[in-house]
Structure 1
Amino acid sequence: MSATKPLPATSAPVAPPHGLTARQRVILAVLLVAQFTLAVDFSILNVALPAIGENLGFSLANLQWIATAFALCAAGFTLFFGRIGDLIGRKRIFLASLALLGAASLAGGLAPNPELLIVARIAQGIATAAATPAGLALLTTSFPEGPLRRKALGLNGALMSAGFTAGAVLGGVLTDLLSWRWAFFLNVPVALAVLLVAPAVIAESRPAVRPRIDLPGALTVTLGLLGVVYGLTQAGEHGWTHPLAVAGLLAGAILLAVFLLVERKAAQPLVPLHVLRKRTVAWGNLLGLLAFVTETSLVYLLTLYLQKTLGFSALAAGLSFGVLGAGTVAGGLLAPKAIARTSTVTVLVGGGLLQTVSTAVLLFLGGTPASMGLLLPATFLGGVGNMLVIVGFMVTATTGLPDRRQGLATGLASMSQQVGITMGTPIMSAIVTATTGGVVTAGAVLHGVTVAIAANAALVLLGVLIAVLFLRDRAHA
């Protein structure tokens, strides 16, 4: 598509000095509901996997593909669709992806066999890859840079993180009380509601001129991300030395290196390298990657601890994470106010330190239910700290770029988020497995989880150091 007829560029509407307009409130509600639902999909089936396998006849070896098929597409296609939204319109991409999500969820809920269920999960992953950056770009272009945008990003981050946690709870409740199929059906009315309301209130957002699509860049980055995510999921399932894990990671790394070479020579690159050279974009996205690697994988570690060491049921373990979800919501509400009163970097550092300390406290977990008195407040405060970092990352990674680049900025941010969610669990799983040597007694699991928690806290602290060393001089009041 060559540059031809100029298209009207859109800009954020001016809000009254005291807050959001009525239309902005509706836009915010629609986008937040959609993003919350997309986040829920990442974890809602985790608890239900055994029931799905038994009901549809999945073999134990193939059961992992219910999660892997979704993760591959959700992470692998995010950057591509984020850029496509810049070219043909974020609203158009957002609505089409919500329609696909609703149709795929209905098909998944009605699936009579494993093959159709996997196809539905692939379609859900593609819909998530398209809707997440488009929805985030619509959010950033609907609100002017400053307090209103920070407030919107804070609420968005809180609900997305809470959605990931809520998915574990909802999956257990729906599977126990109704059927695993309701974990799919839940998306259908949400998608329909968004499709009914969004066209009337959300304005189209796209650049004034359509550039060409960088097909070589799109192909190499998408295949590269698919390779990396596939390698990570295989590493989590079979170990880091498994041939499929090594092959996937190696192929992904080579393709991403080729992508960078392609972008250096492309006349109209998919990802202009000068954008990647911006410290706010590069370091901000690395901080976001670490934030999602650490907190989502901590949920996995604590699930192991609650079920294998303390003997909790899947439902009881899921409900325990409600406290973590409350912490993320609190952090999302606090972050915009804290950024306004101090600076983005101060919030990144303060939130990271709070998350580091709260995670390190979990090193003192014991083998009796009395440890819940330590776990619950620590996960609440850790959730607050993690959400401060996530909102700070979103503000950092999307600030200082024009509206025509917001699809790219939010595509990169969404990619960091989804790759982080995907790679966190395999990393921590590998640490637990190496520490326990495959022994699954209560004491062995506790020891393995403790070592992994120490590594988790170290990664959070690494993020704090990155913010101090590379973003400090970019702080703004």
Structure 2
Amino acid sequence: MTQPVKTKGKTPSPFIFIVGTTSLAFVVSQLDVSIVNIALPQISRSFKADISELQWIVDAYTIAFAVLMLSAGGMSDLLGSKRLFKFGLLTFGIASVGCGLSWNPFSLIGFRVLQGIGAAAMIPSSLSILNQSFAHDPTRRSKAVAWWTAAGGVSIAAGPILGGLLLHISNWRMIFFVNIPICLAGILLSIKLKDSEKHVNKGFDIPGQFTWMLALTALIAAIIELHHLGFNNPVIYGSLIFSAIMFLLFLRIEQRAASPILPLDLFTSSTFNVLVLMGIVLNATYYGTVFVLSLYLQDVLHYSSLTAGMAFLPLTAGFIISNLISGRLMAKYGTRVPILTGLTIGSIGFAGLLIAGSGTPYWQLFIPFITIPMGMGLAVPAMTTGILSTVAKTRSGTASAVLNTSRQAAGAMGVAVFGAMANGGVTAIVHAITVSSVISAIGIFSLIFLIRKYLQTT
């Protein structure tokens, strides 16, 4: 385990130091998922961007994040988590400077891709550092993952609030510059982290990475542009067919690769499979809904950016409280109880958004705004811990990459699908809220039956 850091005065706890340092990566990567949402109307006015360009600004990050994380997970196990962790933080910081200095929508989209590359390197490596540091003590590992997840959950919920404040005192460019001190702190602190064990690997799966990238990008692009071009456009159905072919080819390559970026033997575990599916459903519903809610609060209810940001305050509070409770529940009952409890609360929260209309008062939205993060905050740390418990510690980077890749890909899909439904003014946005809440509630509630069937107490 990592040795304590020697400082003047008190010696900081190794647990706090390791969790705190690795959490900085999760904080900055998740912050950039949600903080951009609240700035979309201002970015649109600044660049005269339409809703599809706004979707690309959001999804360029999540697509790059998703398509590269599988490779990053394997590289983390091959090259060492600490090295990849520092590279990710440096790349993310440089990309954030570029985003803040962007001169048109296309330059911003390009730098968002670079941010996604940095995030893809940071997340599996940070979780691998945690898993290897506390693999000898499952209780401490559960607590470490709970705190790590809590940091990310709070960040994604606090993003709109911080974004609203920054937009109030400055402009949208500041939401990217705020990442720089966090990245610098992470790089400096990571110097003291211990190098992790490396997994024996026979090479790098370039064909697998290439086909996976093409499959996911073509699929997301088709969904985003569907509203403008229509399904009968050859670009749309051609992209969907191309995506399906690339995905099948990807699976074929992974079956034969000496060192696949997606080791298919991981999916022999029913626990692993159901938890990955859970991550997909939760991210698709949450990311897509928050995207539409950001438009709803500002374009339908006519909140200012500051007021809209403050309206998301219950999400932050809900994540903080529930993530901490989740760690305690895991220590006492294992992963099954917090997952089932969280999914139940979350499905109720999404169903509560059905009341959202063109003139809904905020106090009626408060209940779903607090129950959605409460449910997810209980379930996600237990889900992550459950995934790590199914693999050897030397494959933790790969396992966490599979989970987070599927989650980020699902998040991009959620933004693309729900955003497409919201393309058309006030009526379309309200309709999108209604449809997304129904889809989300049904999807999450359906997970409960799978969890009860396949997940034992771990």
- TM-score under structure 1 length normalisation: 0.86
Q: Number of matched residues? A: 451
Relative to structure 1, the CA distance from residue 140 to residue 55 in structure 2 (aligned partners, 3 Å threshold; closer, same or farther) is same
Distance 2:225 2:295 in 1: 19
Distance 2:227 2:449 in 1: 28
Distance 1:35 1:358 in 2: 25
Deviation at 1:153, TM superposition (A): 1.5
Residues 356 and 457 of structure 1 are in contact (CA less than 8 Å); yes or no, is this contact kept in structure 2? yes
Residues 294 and 424 of structure 1 are in contact (CA less than 8 Å); yes or no, is this contact kept in structure 2? yes
Secondary structure at 1:207 match in 2? coil
Residues 232 and 426 of structure 1 are in contact (CA less than 8 Å); yes or no, is this contact kept in structure 2? yes
**Which range is displaced more, 120-129 or 205-214?**
205-214
Render the CA deviation track for 1:305-352: whole Å, top value 9, x for unaligned.
433443323331221111011101111101121122223122221111
Amino acid at match of 1:375: L
**Which range is displaced more, 121-130 or 42-51?**
42-51
Aligned to 1:461: 445
Amino acid at match of 1:440: V
Q: Which of these residues, 60, 65, 78, is aligned with residue 69 of structure 2?
A: 78
1:440 equivalent in alignment to 2:426: yes
Distance 2:443 2:305 in 1: 28
Distance 2:85 2:290 in 1: 29
Q: Which of these residues, 246, 249, 265, is aligned with residue 258 of structure 1?
A: 249
Aligned to 2:39: 48
**Which range is displaced more, 94-103 or 389-398?**
389-398
Deviation at 1:269, TM superposition (A): 2.8
Deviation at 1:367, TM superposition (A): 5.1
Any gaps of 5 or more consecutive residues in structure 2? 5-10
Distance 2:214 2:82 in 1: 26
Deviation at 1:448, TM superposition (A): 4.7
Render the CA deviation track for 1:352-373: whole Å, top value 9, x for unaligned.
1111122223324455454x32
Distance 2:339 2:32 in 1: 27
Aligned to 1:3: none
Relative to structure 1, the CA distance from residue 234 to residue 331 in structure 2 (aligned partners, 3 Å threshold; closer, same or farther) is farther
**Aligned-residue identity in percent:** 29
**Which range is displaced more, 381-390 or 117-126?**
117-126
Residues 295 and 386 of structure 1 are in contact (CA less than 8 Å); yes or no, is this contact kept in structure 2? no
Secondary structure at 1:223 match in 2? helix
Distance 2:51 2:266 in 1: 44
Render the CA deviation track for 1:147-194: whole Å, top value 9, x for unaligned.
211112212222212222222222232223112221121111111111
Secondary structure at 2:414 match in 1? helix
Secondary structure at 2:61 match in 1? helix
Amino acid at match of 2:213: T
Amino acid at match of 1:179: N
Deviation at 1:67, TM superposition (A): 2.6
Aligned to 1:425: 415
Aligned to 1:475: 457
Aligned to 1:219: 210
Aligned to 2:267: 276
Render the CA deviation track for 1:210-268: whole Å, top value 9, x for unaligned.
42222322322233233333334435776766654544443233222212212222233
Q: Which of these residues, 287, 290, 302, is aligned with residue 293 of structure 2?
A: 302
Relative to structure 1, the CA distance from residue 311 to residue 58 in structure 2 (aligned partners, 3 Å threshold; closer, same or farther) is closer
Distance 1:424 1:70 in 2: 14
Relative to structure 1, the CA distance from residue 57 to residue 350 in structure 2 (aligned partners, 3 Å threshold; closer, same or farther) is closer
Aligned to 2:347: 356
Q: Which of these residues, 144, 169, 172, is aligned with residue 164 of structure 2?
A: 172
Distance 1:449 1:298 in 2: 7
Relative to structure 1, the CA distance from residue 92 to residue 413 in structure 2 (aligned partners, 3 Å threshold; closer, same or farther) is same
Residues 289 and 416 of structure 1 are in contact (CA less than 8 Å); yes or no, is this contact kept in structure 2? yes
Deviation at 1:412, TM superposition (A): 0.6
Aligned to 2:155: 163
Relative to structure 1, the CA distance from residue 26 to residue 166 in structure 2 (aligned partners, 3 Å threshold; closer, same or farther) is same
Any gaps of 5 or more consecutive residues in structure 1? 1-10, 15-19
Relative to structure 1, the CA distance from residue 161 to residue 240 in structure 2 (aligned partners, 3 Å threshold; closer, same or farther) is farther
Q: Which of these residues, 7, 29, 34, is aligned with residue 25 of structure 2?
A: 34
1:390 equivalent in alignment to 2:376: no
Amino acid at match of 1:458: I
Relative to structure 1, the CA distance from residue 234 to residue 136 in structure 2 (aligned partners, 3 Å threshold; closer, same or farther) is farther
Distance 1:48 1:445 in 2: 17
Aligned to 2:8: none
Relative to structure 1, the CA distance from residue 237 to residue 184 in structure 2 (aligned partners, 3 Å threshold; closer, same or farther) is farther
- TM-score under structure 2 length normalisation: 0.89
Aligned to 1:207: 198
Distance 1:255 1:350 in 2: 38
Distance 1:398 1:238 in 2: 42
Residues 213 and 268 of structure 1 are in contact (CA less than 8 Å); yes or no, is this contact kept in structure 2? yes
Instruction: Give matches, 1:51-70, under 5 Å.
Output: 51-55=42-46, 62=53, 64-70=55-61
Deviation at 1:458, TM superposition (A): 0.5
Aligned to 2:319: 328
Distance 1:368 1:113 in 2: 34
Distance 2:250 2:305 in 1: 42
Deviation at 1:113, TM superposition (A): 5.0
Amino acid at match of 1:355: G
Q: Which of these residues, 94, 108, 130, is aligned with residue 99 of structure 2?
A: 108
Deviation at 1:59, TM superposition (A): 7.3
**Which range is displaced more, 78-87 or 155-164?**
155-164
**Which range is displaced more, 314-323 or 210-219?**
210-219
Deviation at 1:415, TM superposition (A): 0.6
1:195 equivalent in alignment to 2:187: yes
Relative to structure 1, the CA distance from residue 384 to residue 236 in structure 2 (aligned partners, 3 Å threshold; closer, same or farther) is farther
Distance 2:432 2:223 in 1: 20
Q: Which of these residues, 345, 348, 358, is aligned with residue 336 of structure 2?
A: 345
Residues 71 and 229 of structure 1 are in contact (CA less than 8 Å); yes or no, is this contact kept in structure 2? no
Amino acid at match of 1:151: K
